[in-house]
Amino acid sequence: MIEFLKRLFGQQGSSATAKERLRLVLMTDHLELAPEMIESMKRDLVELISRYVEVDRERIEVNFERQDRTLAMLANIPILGVNRPNGNGAVTHETPRPQPEPVAGADAPSDAPAAETKPPVRKRKRRKKSQRARTQLPSTA
Amino acid sequence: MSARAIVVTSGKGGVGKTTTTANLGATLAKRGRRVILIDADIGLRNLDLVLGLEKRIVFDLVEVAEGRCQLRQALIKDKRFDSLSILPAAQTREKDAITPEQFAGIVERASEVADYVLIDSPAGIETGFRNAVAGAHEAIVVTTPEVSAIRDADRVVGKIAAAGKPIRLIVNRLRPEMVRSGDMLSVDDVCDVLSVELLGIVPDDEEVIDTTNRGEPIVLNESNRLRAIYDKIARRLEGELVPFTSFDNQTFFGRLIGAMKAG
């Protein structure tokens, strides 16, 4: 009887489940088929974040994780230092420095002492439901 | 004059590529178009059998490719329609017996003597599929409203889109009563997931099995409802704006029936 009412009022049959599962699996398929897109997104992301903080480009990790109803992008971007704002409130670009050695308690840049204690930023982005990148291997023919 | 070369493909096997090719070809021929159907499924030829032309094969696709006979010698004319013929696949050869260039060459030659060249692609995304797509200017992707067929359709859609060819979708074997009760993906759902323009909706019909048993396209049967459905698809293919029959509405009544069946 409960099943009867569930089906009668709102709760759909298995087609809703099918659609939800398909949506997720296709998103994952498209991402797996587009490593070059992920690389370019990673580059853009680093470029954007580097405007504000100095990041460790060698240790950036970008992963996609299937969660309950969505696919989440998890980016782990270690921060080495914070760029100093200039007089106008804008952020100045530091000149590129050599990457510090990956030793525990690595030398923080002298002008950014806060970096030593800062944990890596965990950045999370959700893909919009409607967003759909048609991504494919170069060619079939 | 050059024909429209359209590949009919799906990724997954068994969703109705050959049946679609045969019936759409027959419908276009009935409308007075010159149609050549090419069976690109080398090693697993079936289009001849579905159309009841299996006894009349003399030469095949690979023999044409190898120059062992002329295209017109290999074409089998379907006597039930004035302007329909098929080029059968080779049954005893491998998929790679023919190159994409050879295949495209054959499609081009066929295009000189036809208005439509429909290419029945093999399942999968390997050599046979690549050949079939290489020869076509546009594609019809056939899927059924099932998760595995849709996922595979998505793969071929991606590959054909990457080759820059326009794609339209036929949702095959839809069961409207299951859609209404929420137990089957609707056409809207399928189009939504695949983001491909819809060309046609073909409801599931048991009679297809019966007519295929006899080697007759179902559109020959005057009383079958699919005849009108394929006619609509053919008209859309020719650029006419034909409204779609709605099978999608999940109504309260439909749910009531679904719930009563389930309960």
- Cβ-defined contact of A4 to B162 (cutoff 8 Å): no
Output the 3-class SS for chain A: CHHHHHHHCCCCCHHHHHHHHHHHHHHHHHHHCCHHHHHHHHHHHHHHHHCCEEECHHHCEEEEEECCCCEEEEEEECEEEECCECCCCCECCCCCCCCCCCCCCCCCCCCCHHHHHCCCEEEEEECCCCCCCCCCCCCCC
| ipTM computed for the complex | 0.83
Mean pLDDT across the stretch A67-85?
Answer: 82
A65-70 average pLDDT score: 76
pLDDT at residue number A137: 41
From the list A141, A26, A139, the residue with the least C-alpha distance to B129 is A141
pLDDT at residue A51 tops 60: yes
Report pLDDT digits (tens) over A19-38: 999 999 999 898 888 888 88
CATH number of the domain located at residue range(s) B4-262 in this protein: 3.40.50.300
Position A136 pLDDT exceeds 50: no
Chain A residues touching B133 at Cβ < 8 A: 140-141
pLDDT at A89 over 60: no
Domain ranges of chain A: 13-83+109-130
At B62-100, the pLDDT tens digits run 999 999 999 999 999 999 998 999 999 999 998 889 999
Question: Residue A141: which of B133, B185, B189 has the nearest Cβ?
Answer: B133
> Is the per-residue pLDDT at A101 higher than 70?
no
Residue B142: which of B261, B24, B1 has the closest Cα? Answer: B24
Question: For residue range B194-211, what is the model confidence (pLDDT) as tens digits?
Answer: 999 999 999 999 999 999
- Given an 8 Å threshold on Cβ–Cβ distance, is A140 in contact with B129? yes
* Predicted confidence (pLDDT) at residue B22 exceeds the cutoff of 70: yes
Mean pLDDT score across all residues of chain B: 94
Q: Mutate which of A1, A6, A7, A12 to disrupt the B interface (most B C-beta within 10 Å)?
A: A7
How do residues B34-43 score in pLDDT, each as one tens digit?
999 999 999 9
